[in-house]
Amino acid sequence: MSTSPLQQETIAADFLASRLLTSHSVSTGIILGTGLGQWVESMDDFTAVDYAEIPGFPRTTVQSHAGRLCAGNVQNTPVLALQGRFHLYEGYSPDEVCFGLRTLAILGVQRLIITNAAGALNPLFQAGEIMVINDQINLTGRNPLLGLSYGEPQFPDMSQLFSSRLADLAHSSALRRGQRLQQGVYMGILGPSLETPAETRMFRQLGADAIGMSTVMETIAAKQMGLEILGLSCLTNKNLPDCMAPTSLEEIIAVGQDIGQRLGDLLSVLIPAIANSH
Q: What is the mean pLDDT of the chain?
A: 89
Tell me the pLDDT band of 208, cut-offs 50, 70 and 90: very high
Cβ contact 225:122 at 8 Å: no
Q: Which residues pair with 132 in a beta bridge?
A: 183, 232
Please give the CATH number for the structural domain made up of 7-275: 3.40.50.1580
Cβ contact 100:85 at 8 Å: yes
d(Cα 248, Cα 145) in Å, to the nearest integer? Answer: 32
Instruction: Give the start-to-end residue ranges of the domains of the chain.
Output: 7-275
For 245-266, write each residue's pLDDT tens digit: 676 667 766 766 778 888 989 9
* Over residues 217-232, mean pLDDT: 97
For 123-152, write each residue's pLDDT tens digit: 999 999 999 999 999 999 999 998 766 677
Cβ burial of 60 (10 Å; 0-12, 13-18, 19+) is buried
Strands (E), the chain: 28-32, 44-50, 68-74, 77-83, 111-120, 130-138, 182-188, 210-212, 228-238
